[in-house]
Amino acid sequence: GAVVPNYSKMIKEDIVGMRVALPKQYLSADLPKQIRDRMLVSIEKLTDKGVNIEEVDVPLLERALAIYYTIMPAEVSANLARFDGIRYGNVVEAEELWQVYKQTRGQRFGAEVKRRILIGTYVLSAGYYDAYYKKALQVQKMLKAELNDIWQEYDAIISPTTPTTAFELGDKTSDPLTMYLSDIYTVVANIVGSPAISIPVGKDQDSLPIGLQLMGEPLAEGKIMKLAWHLENYRG
């Protein structure tokens, strides 16, 4: 089998000459100035350490959120439907079998879990499987191919971690689309099976943390850990 590298030693190795891709899709005009500025400062720090950072075009990154929120709910729905559908978590005791099902699913699942189960069931249904789930799998494969081309030339992809800083707890529970948009940069790693790491790079005017994400080629954790270590320990 593969030998796991000594990451503690590897992260301190020189990063001169490493190449990092900055997808132009991640430089949206809607990105808040404070997040953009912190990202640009981080890019300057890496450049100062000898890293080459170049803008690239990865068109299907714009479809990543749609891919994720089609495939992931489908997997949730399929997994929770196995056997009799109540083999996960705590089962509510009741006198009648139908009450066991109703109360277990009604009381033990939160609103977001229920929402994802329903979305997943919908995209897997006979009338919509080809239109949504199958198509999402096809685009997922195409996105992997685009990123495989990136890994031929670059060691990592750099992006913000989130498009905004944190909103107040419970503030967006009635607006799931806004919550889903917070995942726009981080879902890519899940879709393509890549390692990713988030590094704190500053705070906004409300002292809320701003994060920077580095994503790497599958099984190349050492590269992004090395870049992250040098960024965190930068002394200009």
Tell me how far apart the alpha carbons of residues 233 and 201 are, in angstroms, rounded to a whole number. Answer: 11
Asked if the model's pLDDT at residue 170 lies above 80, the reply is no
pLDDT, position 39: 94
Each residue of 180-236: pLDDT tens digit?
888 999 999 999 999 999 999 999 999 999 999 999 999 999 999 999 999 999 876
SS3 content of the chain, % helix, strand, coil (to 5): 50, 15, 35
> For 7-232, which CATH superfamily applies?
Amidase signature (AS) domain (3.90.1300.10)
All structural domains of the chain with their residue ranges: 7-232
In this prediction, residue 69 has a pLDDT band, given cuts at 50, 70 and 90, of very high
Count Cα atoms within 13 angstroms, Cβ side, for 37: 7
E-strand ranges in the chain read: 19-23, 52-56, 156-160, 196-203, 209-216
* Report field, pTM of the whole predicted structure over 0.85: yes
pLDDT, mean over the chain: 90
Q: What pLDDT shows up at residue 119?
A: 93
How far from 164 is each of 135, 168, 230, CA to CA, in Å? 29, 12, 25
Chain CA centroid to CA 37, Å: 21
pLDDT of residue 28: 78
Amino acid at the residue 77: S
By residue count, the chain amounts to 236
Task: Indicate the pLDDT class of residue 85, thresholds 50, 70 and 90.
Answer: low
